[in-house]
Amino acid sequence: MLQKKKITFSLLLLVLMGACTYPAKEHINLEEQAWIHGSEDCEQNSDPLIQVVKYDEDTWILRQNKCTNYEAPFMFLFFGKNKALLMDTGATREEDKFPLYQTVKSLIDARQKEYATDLQLVVAHTHAHGDHHAADAQFQGKPATSVIGLQVEDIKSFFAIENWPENNAVYDLGDRALEIIPIPGHQKSSIAVYDPQSGILLTGDTFYPGRLYVEDWSVFKESIRKLYDFTKKHEISYILGNHIEMSLEPGKDYPIGTLYQPEEQKLPLYPEDLEELHKALERLGDQPTREIHDKFIIYPIK
């Protein structure tokens, strides 16, 4: 009887959660989005230093020019009612080569004007590798701006994450509650971010069309299992990572350090791609093993 009550309650909860899903906003098709991808001769490169793409009314995707840094990381800006969250600050510190603060500030200024509101900017990171926090200093000390630290302790305390890395936390930007998901393994401080409004799941360097560098094999495996379970229970539009290193040819990556990727793989991945990674890791067992897949390469570094 108790069991039956429990099941009924769970069903009710599911129905209620279903009723609370966000109305879908009009967004661009990321399968068709072209990205700046460097040049054969960077002297001749006339692309913007930062490509700025409006994904939907409340979400922006930025990419650093490969000619300033071969890593060409992606960065993501989410707007809520009271806050803007910038995930990552790219691979270059100097403002003249990489004007990230100015770029983000102009997006925020336009938003504040349009919505007649004041926004707090929070700068956080998918993880602590240098190609994702190089421009932090551009944001430090700026008005209405907080830059979150890079250590596990900083992330735990800012997002109020208990029992790292098992538990997730919810972080609300104002009518836009994001889920913060600890996923160590590529790097100790790695997190994923899920946005129920757009269905976007950010996975940093843990899962993207490229070389998935694994620092801690068993911890990485556990994080991928956790992410895979998460995608089973949530609506996912796109899984977006921080780089593109694969070409359109299945299983073929560009050489490390290349400044030109004319035929690069699309940015988005999907839950079925994550399932492929999860199953491969399960099959490979405890032995860190490099393995090439069509859209990514499992790449242990220890």
Could you tell me the smallest distance in angstroms from the CB atom of residue 83 to Zn ion? 25
Ordered DSSP codes for the chain:
-HHHHHHHHHHHHHHHHHHTPPPPPPB--TTT-----B-SSGGG--S-SEEEEEEETTEEEEEE-TTT-TT--EEEEEE-SSEEEEE---S---TTT--HHHHHHHHHHHHHHHHT---EEEEE-S---GGGTTTHHHHTT-TTEEE--SSHHHHHHHHT--TTTT--EEEESSS-EEEEEE-TTSSTT-EEEEETTTTEEEEETTSSSSEEEESSHHHHHHHHHHHHHHHHHS--SEEEES---BBSSTT-BPPTT-SB-TTBPPS-B-HHHHHHHHHHHHHHTTS---EE-SS-EEEE--
- Compute how many residues bind Zn ion; rule: CB under 5 A: 3
Verify binding: residue 188, Zn ion, rule CB under 5 A: no
Could you tell me the smallest distance in angstroms from the CB atom of residue 206 to Zn ion? 8
Q: Which is closer to Zn ion, CB of 66 or CB of 129?
A: 129
Could you tell me the smallest distance in angstroms from the CB atom of residue 131 to Zn ion? 4
Verify binding: residue 131, Zn ion, rule CB under 5 A: yes
Could you tell me the smallest distance in angstroms from the CB atom of residue 35 to Zn ion? 16
Q: Which is closer to Zn ion, CB of 129 or CB of 176?
A: 129
Verify binding: residue 58, Zn ion, rule CB under 5 A: no
Residue indicated by tokens 């994904």 = 55
Q: Which is closer to Zn ion, CB of 171 or CB of 208?
A: 208
Candidate ranges 127-135, 162-170, 251-259, 278-286; the one touching Zn ion (CB under 5 A): 127-135
Verify binding: residue 88, Zn ion, rule CB under 5 A: no
Q: Which is closer to Zn ion, CB of 76 or CB of 79?
A: 76
Contact present, 84 and 77 (Cβ < 8 Å): yes
Q: Which is closer to Zn ion, CB of 86 or CB of 119?
A: 86
**In this chain, which of 125, 129, 133, 278 binds Zn ion, going by CB under 5 A?**
129
Site for Zn ion in 204-223 (CB under 5 A): 205
Verify binding: residue 63, Zn ion, rule CB under 5 A: no
Verify binding: residue 133, Zn ion, rule CB under 5 A: no
Q: Which is closer to Zn ion, CB of 131 or CB of 264?
A: 131
Verify binding: residue 245, Zn ion, rule CB under 5 A: no
Q: Which residues bind Zn ion (CB under 5 A)?
A: 129, 131, 205
